[in-house]
Structure 1
Amino acid sequence: MQSASATFQDPARPRRWYASLYVQVLLAIAAGITVGLVWPETGSALQPLGDGFIKLVKMIIAPVIFLTIITGIGGMRHAEDIGRVAGKAFGYFLAVSTLALVVGLIIANVVQPGAGMNIDVATLDAGAVHGYADKAHEATIPGFLLSIIPTTFLSALTDGSILQVLLVAILFGIALSLSGEAGVAIHRLAEQLGEVVFRLVAILMRAAPIGAFGAMAFTVGKYGLGALLGLGKLVATFYLTSALFVVIVLGLIARVTGFSIFRLLRYLRDELLLVLGTSSSEAALPALMQKLEQAGCAKSVVGIVVPTGYSFNLDGTNIYMTLAALFIAQATGVDLSLGDQIALLLVAMISSKGAAGVTGAGFITLAATLSITPAVPVAGMALILGVDRFMSECRALTNCIGNAVAAIVVARWEGALDREQLRAALAGKSAQGAQTFTASGAPAD
């Protein structure tokens, strides 16, 4: 599927610096922080700007995933190819997401961000986390599995569940690949619809700076920097751990696969700034899938790996879960044995899957994990409630980067990666030497 975003600007025309989505979002984030600090009430009132932009993007996620998957799978000759791609993806997800949990556990034991706080659990406001705990109890494994099955075919495209869209799209794509000439005609129509949908994505991305401005102004205006400074050691430890995970763990994986993690971050800077500004990795999902296809990953691989990874490959959320759980234990004076920590790790391996399908995913999933492992008091989550919003931005960034790396790795394993196109894209050029274009319609560099 050819990117429609490139049609918004003639590559021969000189690009003005302010036309770059990267610059626009960066300026919007800075302006949002300023408004939140100087006029906190005004900043808090700007929440609808950020929420509205995220709703606009979520509106288009279902058709993007559906059309990408059915056109990718519909072009496969054998249905077993789909199972092979999914199997490799889930193998990667299990290994890397488990490693993220272990990293969070190790760092929490070494740094001990909650040590010395001596918080009495009885003094904590358990009611502050009551609603999250209720939602956590609803997120049972059987309930999660049944929630993947939509009520109707069309409801999968309207209910906002990525996994439901994924299930329906995979089944439809398989049927399409087995339908002979009728399937070929529908496949061609789906590709044409896909071009229109990605043009719509490019239009929506023009509103990204407004959404980033509103979301950042609300965050700083509502919670202030005081809350961030009060629990600064936890927040700083989490950000540093996530950065090290991206640079060292994902960097080594990238190096073995044949690309540089730093060039990938540069290539995806528009999408990552959008995630930073909105605290939502879903906000960049359509543009991320488009960018990975432009970088040489097969459409069928991107269509399966990226949407699935948004529920099963949440590296940032996994680091947060074990790190935050041990922080609460340390802050409340709970001494966790090695057995307790292993039990926590095993529970988190299960509870973290499907987290993206729940509103307030990271915090709710942490509540679910602590409710199953009673050694750590769930009421202790009140300690981090005030700064969770700041940490959600880092969770979303790490999740987004992790899924981009996963798509490239699985594409390489499948022999479905154009390595020349990848090198050219990460260098800021297309395979033919032309510039690549972002969702804003501006050249990537």
Structure 2
Amino acid sequence: MDFARSVAAQRRLHELVPGGAHTYARGADQYPADQAPVIVRGQGARVVDVDGNEFVEYGMGLRSVTLGHAYRPVVDAVCRAASDGVSFTRPSVRELEAAERFVEQVPTAEMVKFAKNGSDATTAALRLARAATGRDLVAICGDHPFFSVDDWFIGTTPMDAGIPRSVREATVTFRYNDLASLEALLDAHPGQVAAVFLEPATCTAEPAPGFLEGVRALADRDGFVLVFDEMITGMRWSAAGAQAVYGVTPDLSTWGKALGNGFAVSALAGRRHLMELGGLSTGEPRVFLLSTTHGAETTGLAAFLAVSDAYRERDVVGVMEARGAALRAGFRAVVADHGLEGVVEVTGRPSCLVFGTRDHREVPSQAFRALFLQEMLARGVLAQSFVISAAHTDDDVERTLEAADGALAVYAKAIAAETTDGFLVGPPVAPALRRYAEPRRS
């Protein structure tokens, strides 16, 4: 494939936008050299770049698109909302409709407040927890990659430049599926932890029996606020989130991504006595919770309502699970055909699959990841992961497996040579969150 126009557009983006993209995970450093497509349009599970190349896409808007790109009922609902005006000096009727729908869809939520991005929701949850408990520390699951762009989380990453030490020291970590590590943390900071944040599950790990229940019991014993980050699991595990799948109710939960099928809408939801600290019915000092100009503009809420309608009309999660299971089985068969078991793997819930790449020593390798991405892109598949949508067809899955067959043939040759030299064009891809920006080709 020819990527000349994408390369030129990416070069210009670097001149105008720090990092060349508005999300680190979308950056050119996440793709092989000179193979970072700049997208023009998408339909269903296919996208087209500025060079006219068509790809089957996975990851689907950083896991935000479950119904497919340009899903007509959502687009139509957004257009109708926009034609009636998007922002007023008073709440719109869609704010009521969306709130009623959300608490109906998520029975564990007693109240909800909408925003535009997930970080606003998670930071609002932390502020509520600190106000409710009078404590300062926040405990986060250190195995989970991302919670917020705000200082309380970014201070725990390699990109902590510009964040005061006092803020960094107020965040402590524990390990997923390791209840003892959380108990030890609480013992080390008695009565100091305001909130515990974790994803109830991830693309690579399900909760061990009793783990989430144990965290819930610790919250009840210790008095911290339990927050489930449902940004990814919400409407991908079930319409009511992973909390409904596993039967454990958090005090607060944060939502985004799939709520709007790619349109900007997020939510903070949870128990009334906590949420009302940011309302008008409290006798306690009020919390500045979420107050944004665009938090409740009508198009995002219309998108959520249309997405919710789609989930009512058919089993969207079931479709993703079925297609994902077929992709997983087919990919594992192709891996076996090339003798790459233990080197290339696919893991996770069928609706949220990720792949792993290892070198000839079976050590995780960014160079071999770049090689796999390079060969998949050359064969018309854009896949940082195998996170699927309900728009992926049997044909999309088949095309993906054909591309994987060709890509893994090259991968096997590189494994036999014990190097990506001579196979990979340019440097390896790099972790999105890292301390230094190594020079690399765009």
The TM-score range, normalised by the shorter chain, is under 0.3
Q: More helix by proportion, 1 or 2?
A: 1
The TM-score normalised by the length of structure 2 is: 0.25
Q: Which has the higher strand share?
A: 2
What TM-score do you get using the length of structure 1 for normalisation?
Answer: 0.25
